[in-house]
Amino acid sequence: MIQLKEIEKKFDKSEVLKNLSFDIEPGKITAIVGPNGSGKTTIIKTILGLVKPDNGDILIDDKSILNDYHYRKNIGYMPQSASFPENLTIREVLKMIGDLRNSKIKHDDELLVALNLTAEMNKQVKTLSGGTKQKVSALLSLMFNPSIIILDEPTAGLDPVASSNLKELIIKEKMKGKTIILTSHIMSEIEELADHIIFLIEGKIKFDGSVFDLLTYKSENKLEKVIANMMNEKSAWN
């Protein structure tokens, strides 16, 4: 389990995270949603250890990660836009990342087939489409068998088949008991995948619960409409 306790973060005079506390449970897909500038990216960076909070603590399995980096080997991360050395082939990229992680795990043929990358392995990164680069990023986030998977807009740029296959892979990882964090601007995707939703406005939590509970609470059947309404209501919370 990942626990964020009273997390605060400022950049210059801008307070980005305002005393946030919530849990992210294993065996579930937790979606972090909110408008641009709500703090989603900063939360992900604090969990990844790229940003250190000014106050508060982050625990993984009851151990603080703020002065530790070893926990990162258990994280698979798919950024919204990945960048790889242009002259390397996909095969060489996978080997490079494996070496950096000091991992002996080989690529999984099932993942290659699901992401339709089998025939692409010897192609250089500079020849790849944006969608294929996204597939490589997805593969890297899953192939080292991490216990925590963080996916930032995972289906952006993917064709419908690749998007569907990736979502199936994500659900399979959840069924293995993995802790999965998802961000997406596609509310139908959140509704399809997420068990739990954390909705942020201006660095504050405005909802922390199941998607079903949010829909029930707002008496709606579409998450997109609920989120849009809550964003329009934000002035009433300030």
- Find tokens 């849009």 and name the residue: 228
- In the chain, the N- to C-terminal Cα span, in Å, equals 31
- 150 vs 223, residue with greater confidence: 150
Q: List the 2-11 sheet strands across, edge first.
A: 14-24, 2-11, 55-60, 63-64
Q: What per-residue confidence (pLDDT) applies to 127?
A: 94
What burial class does residue 196 get, using C-beta atoms within 10 Å of its C-beta: 0-12 exposed, 13-18 middle, 19+ buried?
buried
Query: What integer pLDDT is reported at residue 236 of this predicted model?
Result: 45
Residue-level pLDDT at 9: 94
Residue 3's pLDDT is 95
Per-residue pLDDT band at 110 (split at 50, 70, 90): confident
The model's confidence at residue 75, banded by pLDDT at 50, 70 and 90, is very high
18-63, pLDDT tens digit by residue? 999 999 999 999 999 988 888 899 999 999 999 999 999 999 999 9
Mean pLDDT (the chain, rounded): 89
Q: Copy the structure tokens of residue 218.
A: 């707002």
**CA 194, 130, 147 angle in degrees (round to 5)?**
40
What pLDDT was estimated at residue 237? Answer: 45
pLDDT recorded at residue 35? 85
Residue 111 has pLDDT above 90, yes or no: no
pLDDT, tens only, 149-177: 999 989 888 889 889 999 999 999 999 99
Q: What's the confidence (pLDDT) of residue 212?
A: 87
Record the pTM: 0.89
* Residue 58 to residue 85: CA distance in whole angstroms: 32
Which residues, in sequence order, are bridge partners of residue 89? 124
Domains with residue ranges and CATH for the chain: 2-234 (3.40.50.300)
